[in-house]
């Protein structure tokens, strides 16, 4: 099946937002064995919508539209698709209920423009939107399939995975395994796995995100046993070469792995952050269940808060400066002593863009971890802008925690 992804949105065409939906859908379609041939983007414009729909119908079997299902007058994807295909629209009671329910929950009045969203093409399948107001649509039109999904990435992804995938899945088996690594660079990884990356089935590819690299293995076949065998064999090969850098075989975020390990081992943790400014705590608390393991977090941004909150000595601050291994250690030690946790973590560094010196450049970060029996201090120098330095430091902390756990 040949697929085309069509993004509708003036903000995409003007370059105001990055088209992450297309990227997401491409990956997902490919994983279920569907060949994506074209990405097309246009603004919310009836003439262009009609034009790309007609081109798409000629050359692709599956057209996935994202965007233009909102309540306002410039949202017209559904209307133009129906008009072009000659399909009438009718009020869908279930969709209307959902939208009313949505506004009820928020305790907000529903504007009359939202009712427009409940009109769906006759005979089409209604794709329920559980977290927004725009329902999706699945249309079979001769040999073509047309899917309309809302633009907000979370709504789009949820609806695509829950409702669209079962409708379009191919009859041969494709399985994907993602191995998550930490602490190894992408080029090193590619060198170590060079022969495997050249493989045909399963294929192996690497995807780098700040400080983390994912390895995606995709196996195809006509029966489950064969596909599982191919996958397991490849996982084994990769694992034997780089096992110490693998933190998950389940495609998880590093903070999820940390929170779940802590939960399983019933270990309590507390975090004292300076340069990372709450990012480590915030990442941990994004994981459901974090409240079982995270006892507290403290962002000791001022010197006085380092003294008051975690008992850093004034003399240590004066002698070594706030960005020093001594202060990092006293922060973690003080936090450990003050709370009833098993692990205390601290960070102090220079996130920039200013505040660096020759001796203590922007990007210098000290991290400390204190447990009942041990205490560690790690020094790193990270590259990039303020956000990047904060992010890389948080990932480094998670990597160190992983090793300890």
Q: Please, what is the end-to-end C-alpha distance for the chain in angstroms? A: 46
**Nearest residue (CB) to its own copies, 125 versus 388:** 388
Q: Cα Rg for the chain, rounded, in angstroms?
A: 26
E strands of 131-238, at which residues? Answer: 136-141, 144-149, 173-182, 203-209, 212-221
Taking the C-alpha atoms of residue 114 and residue 103, their distance in angstroms, rounded to an integer, is 10
Query: Strand pairing partners for 251?
Result: none
Question: Among residues 221 and 363, whose Cβ is nearest to its own copies?
Answer: 363
Min CB(48)–its own copies separation in Å: 7
State the number of CA atoms in the 13 A half-sphere of 334 facing the CB. Answer: 23
Contact indicator for 71, 114 with CB cutoff of 8 Å: yes
| In the complex, minimum distance from the CB of residue 247 to its own copies, in angstroms, rounded to a whole number | 18
Residue 323: which residues within 8 A CB-CB, separation 6 or more? 274, 275, 348, 349, 350, 360, 364, 365, 366
When the beta carbons of 38 and 376 are compared against its own copies, the nearer one is: 38
Q: Which is nearer to its own copies, 157 or 404 (CB)?
A: 157
- Positive or negative CA dihedral for 150, 152, 154, 155? negative
The set of residues, in sequence order, having a beta carbon less than 8 Å from that of 290 and lying 6+ positions away, is 259, 284
Give the integer Cα–Cα distance in Å for 295 and 127.
41
CA distance 216 to 214: 6
Beta-strand relationship, 269-273 and 294-299: parallel
Please, which residue, 113 or 357, has the CB nearer to its own copies?
Answer: 113
Rounded least distance, CB 227 to its own copies, Å: 17
Residue whose CB is less far from its own copies, 106 or 359: 106
**Which residue, 124 or 272, is less far from its own copies as judged by CB?**
272
Report the distance separating Cα 386 and Cα 363, nearest Å. Answer: 8
- C-beta of residue 322 within 8 angstroms of C-beta of residue 306: yes
Q: How far is the CB of 39 from its own copies (least distance, A)?
A: 4
Shortest distance, position 230 Cβ to its own copies, whole Å: 18
Q: Which helix (H) or strand (E) holds 386?
A: helix 386-404
Q: Which is nearer to its own copies, 135 or 352 (CB)?
A: 352
Q: Give 24 or 320: the residue with its C-beta nearer to its own copies.
A: 24
Type and span of the H or E element at 271: strand 269-273
Closest separation in Å from C-beta 87 to its own copies: 25
Provide, rounded to whole angstroms, the least separation between the CB of residue 65 and its own copies.
14
Q: Cβ of 351: how many Cβ atoms within 10 Å?
A: 27
Enumerate the H helices of 243-346 as residue ranges: 254-264, 279-285, 303-310, 314-320, 325-338
49 or 370: CB nearest its own copies: 49
Q: Min. distance of Cβ 88 from its own copies in angstroms?
A: 25
CB of 122 to its own copies, least distance (A): 26
Greatest pairwise CA separation for the chain in angstroms? 79
Least separation in angstroms between residue 40's CB and its own copies is 6
């Amino acid at each position: 099946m040949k697929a085309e992804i069509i993004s509708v949105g003036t903000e995409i065409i003007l370059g105001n937002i990055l088209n992450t939906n297309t990227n997401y859908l491409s990956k997902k379609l490919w994983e279920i064995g569907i060949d994506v041939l074209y990405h097309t983007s246009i603004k919310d414009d009836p003439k262009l919508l009609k034009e790309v729909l007609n081109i798409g119908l000629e050359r692709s079997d599956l057209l996935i539209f994202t965007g233009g299902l909102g309540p306002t007058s410039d949202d017209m994807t559904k209307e133009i698709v129906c008009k072009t295909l000659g399909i009438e629209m009718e009020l869908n009671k279930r969709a209307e209920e959902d939208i009313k329910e949505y506004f009820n929950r928020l305790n907000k009045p529903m504007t009359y423009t939202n009712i427009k969203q409940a009109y769906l093409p006759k005979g089409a399948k209604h794709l329920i939107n559980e977290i927004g107001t725009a329902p999706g649509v699945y249309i079979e039109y001769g040999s073509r399939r047309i899917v309309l999904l809302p633009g907000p990435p979370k709504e789009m992804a949820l609806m695509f995975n829950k409702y669209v995938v079962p409708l379009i899945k191919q009859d041969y088996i494709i399985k994907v395994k993602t191995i998550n690594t930490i602490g190894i660079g992408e080029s090193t990884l590619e060198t170590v796995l060079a022969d495997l990356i050249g493989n045909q089935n399963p294929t192996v590819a690497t995807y780098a995100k700040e400080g983390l690299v994912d390895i995606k293995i995709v196996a195809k076949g006509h029966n489950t046993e064969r596909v599982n065998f191919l996958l397991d064999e490849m996982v084994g090969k990769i694992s034997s070469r780089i096992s110490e850098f693998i933190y998950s075989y389940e495609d998880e975020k590093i903070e999820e792995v940390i929170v779940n390990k802590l939960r399983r081992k019933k270990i309590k943790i507390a975090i004292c952050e300076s340069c990372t400014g709450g990012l480590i705590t915030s990442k941990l608390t994004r994981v459901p269940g974090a409240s079982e393991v995270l006892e507290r977090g403290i962002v000791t941004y001022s010197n006085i808060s380092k003294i008051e909150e975690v008992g850093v000595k004034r003399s240590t601050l004066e002698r070594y400066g706030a960005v020093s291994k001594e202060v990092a250690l006293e922060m973690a030690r003080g936090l450990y002593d003050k709370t009833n946790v098993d692990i205390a973590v601290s960070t102090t560094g220079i996130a920039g863009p200013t505040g660096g010196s020759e001796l203590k450049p922007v990007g210098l970060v000290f991290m400390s971890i204190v447990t009942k029996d041990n205490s560690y201090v790690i020094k790193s120098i990270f590259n990039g802008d303020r956000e990047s330095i904060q992010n890389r430091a948080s990932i480094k902390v998670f990597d160190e925690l992983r090793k300890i756990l």
